[in-house]
Amino acid sequence: MKAFMLLCLSLPVFTGLQPTLPVFKDTAECIQHEYLMGQTDHEVITICPDNIEAAGGDEQEVIRHEMVHVIHYNFGWTEDQTIIPEPYFTDLVREHVPSDEVLLVITSDGYAHYPNQELEARLLSKLPTPVIMSLYWVSQEYATFNPG
């Protein structure tokens, strides 16, 4: 079963159906907000390389993080729904997201409306890019057939 799931998730990559989303670097927001690593309007991803470097981060991980937010959007999830169901979501966050990040997310006004989605984006951004891109492809197909 595990091999079948990997094949299904990798199929769009191997068949050349891997979708793309434009990625831009540096905006005025990057300069104004030194802690901003990236953001998306669901059509474009913007990353802040200087801020990422200052925080010791990885640009590719930030792009994958923002892609997860696009995936949530494509599925039409506005009520803080997550891809990973409970109780697995909570267990995985507990195990793989540092407690200081969890505390930041649940206490920050910036994430008040979607703390679970933010935590899931931080968790899933650690997955390989082909997995995230496959999920993105699935979400695009869903959005095509289920316009909201």
Query: Given this model, what pLDDT does residue 148 score?
Result: 63
| DSSP track, 108-136 | -GGGTT-HHHHHHHHHHTTS-HHHHHHHH
DSSP run (H or E) holding 88? helix 88-96
Entry pTM: 0.85
Strand partners, 142: none
> Over 50: is that where the pLDDT of 119 sits?
yes
pLDDT digits (tens, 9 = 90+) for 3-51: 444 445 555 444 445 567 899 998 899 999 999 999 999 999 999 999 9
pLDDT tens for 54-90 read 999 999 999 999 999 999 999 999 899 999 999 999 9
Where do the structural domains in the chain lie, given as residue ranges? Answer: 2-17+60-145
- Four-CA torsion 129, 131, 136, 139, nearest 10 degrees: -170
Predicted confidence at residue 19, as pLDDT, reads 62
Structure tokens of 111? 């994430």
Check if the beta carbon of residue 26 is closer than 8 Å to that of residue 51: no
Which pLDDT score, from 0 to 100, does residue 74 have? Answer: 95
Q: How far apart are CA 20 and CA 3, in angstroms?
A: 25
Within 10 angstroms of residue 62's Cβ, the number of other Cβ atoms is 24
